Structures are given as structure tokens and as C-alpha cells.
Amino acid sequence: MASTAGKLSFGKIAFVRKIFGKLVLGLSVITMVACRAHRDSNASDVRVVGGQFVHMSQDQRTLSHSVSLIARSSTGDGHRCTGVVVGPHQIITAAHCLTNVKELDIGIGPRYWRLPGVKATNIMRHPRWTSSYPYDVGIITFSGDLPSQMKASTLSEDLTLRSGDKVLIAGFGSSGELHPDLRGEFGFLRQVQVDIDLVEPETNSFTIKPYTRKGGCHGDSGGPAFIDRQGQLELVGIISGPSSDAPCDEGHGSITQILRYQGWLKCAFAKAQTPLDSMKDDASSVDCQMDRK
């Protein structure tokens, strides 16, 4: 549809320019700003706050690790998030994505497709999480098998992150919130490379360089943050959410440094009867004794 819309738009512009000349140039600029999601499909820079559709990118590796989550509460309200596969039956996501969840659908991309035969069996939020960024991590276990193209993410062994390091983030969320046509574009996996702004050891998180028009938006929470080391994607974090009150179109966000929670993750998956030996014990293991769902 994007390709067809693009061809019709340019055809109309060509017709109108014969009549109105330079006037249409100004109108076309306004149209491009207001409807930036409707571009020619040959251009792979459709915005996810500065990103690309993964299936239109030369680098499609995040497709193999990312899942879309649609959660419903007991009242029937629903919300969308993203998760990252870390094992054959294990997913990690943001804790705030798992609040008051009664039902949870798991899907894959490039456009959301609910996986038949895959059913969430356990969800668990970090017991210290309240409503802010620290401890914004949770787990999902599921029955059934993922398609063969889905792979567990490799956790980075390097805990050292620095301001200026480049991170690849991915999510099934919205392209933005300022324009109605962008707010509704949930369900497509997109990715964008961002720069780390501040590393915050006291909250086990780091922030994205702000006001670059690159970052996550609504529905991207829980999505992976990778560092590319010699062609290998290594998981270093998950998207927690905006780091300011500014619209996410401006480009900003907070990333939970998932490596600081390996001990709790390992214990939580074991409690859910889906142990994951690739996780390492660390100082966060002590929090497993106060777990809550």
C-alpha cells in the first residue's frame, strides 16, 4: 500500500504542477511533513522516530529476536509491547508491560502475526519495580514452539557501556505521537541505531541521546537494545520508555541495562520451571526471594 500511495501522490503532483506551477512545491512539502509515513516503498527510512521497517532494511537480524506482545487485563483493556527472545521458551520484556495482565498474545513480524499454538504460561515482574525506571524488567514463559527462524538473543558479557556508544533498538510500536497517521501504525517491527547519552549506574539504565528524532515510542517498551560487536548482535538492554515529557517524536528514551539483572532472571526462569543456564548469578539474585507475579 505504501508503494501504491506513493505513485498516486507523485502522479497528482505532476498533474497539478502543470496548472499551478511553483505553488504545488510548497503544498508538496507540507504534505511530506504531515504524512511522512506514506513514502515510496523503495525508500527504507519509514519513521519509527527515525528508524526503518526491518523487512525493508539490509540488516534484518532483529527479526529473529523480537516478538510483539498484546496484553489484556481483567477489565478488557489492552496494551501493546515488545519482547525479546532469550531462550526456546523464554522472553524478557519491561515490567510495566506485565501489569494487571490476564491474557497475553505473542506474535512475530515483520508485521504482527499471532503465533498459533504458542501460549504464555507464566509472567513475572521484578519485585522491586513500582512505576519508575529502576527494575523495569519482567519475564514471560510460554508453551509451544517458535518458528525455526526465531533465535535466542546472545547476552553481552561486557558490562561496560559508555556515552557515545551506538545501540540498535527495535520494537513493534508507533512511529510517533504528534500525527494521527503515525499514532496508529502499531504492529510493524522497526529498528533504529541510537547513541547512548548517559549511563546511570544507580538505576542500572542508560538514556538515548535526546532530540535526535531517533528512539522508541508507544508499544516499543520491552524491545531489545543491541550492540553490534564484529557483526554479532549482543543484547545489552530493553526499552523502558521515554525519559522526558516531550513527545517521543523528538527522540529520547531510557534503556534498562539487562545485564545487571541476570541473577534475578536466572532465578525467575527457574521458578517458572523453564531454567535458563545461559544466565549468570549476580547481586540481583537476592531479589528472587521476594518475587511476585
Reported as a single tens digit per residue, the pLDDT across 228-240 is 999 999 999 999 9
Domains contained in the chain, number: 3
Cα separation, 258 vs 255, in Å, equals 9
199 and 222 part of one domain: yes
Task: Tell whether 176 is covered by a domain.
Answer: yes
* Same domain, yes or no: 193 and 114: no
Tell me the pLDDT band of 45, cut-offs 50, 70 and 90: very low
CA-nearest of 174, 170, 176, 172 to 193 is 170
The three cell numbers locating residue 133: 525506571
Same domain, 188 and 113: no
Structure-model confidence comparison of residues 41 and 190, the more confident one: 190
In a domain, 290, yes or no: no
Query: Residue 102 belongs to a domain with what CATH number?
Result: 2.40.10.10
Would you place residue 291 in the very low, low, confident or very high pLDDT band (cuts 50, 70, 90)?
low
Q: Is the pLDDT of residue 180 over 60?
A: no
- Burial string for 106-120 (b: 16+ CB within 10 Å, else e) reads bbbbbebeebeebeb
- The pLDDT score that the predictor gives to residue 223 is 95
Domain boundaries, position 231: 154-260
* pTM beyond cutoff 0.85: no
pLDDT over 70 at 25, yes or no? no
Q: Is residue 179's pLDDT more than 70?
A: no
Whether residue 283 is contained in a domain is answered as no
More reliable by pLDDT, 110 or 17: 110
Output 283 or 73, whichever has higher pLDDT: 283
Q: Who has greater pLDDT, 18 or 36?
A: 18
Which residue among 119, 153, 187 closes a domain?
153
Residues 95-112: what's their mean pLDDT? 90
Whether 140 and 175 share a structural domain: no
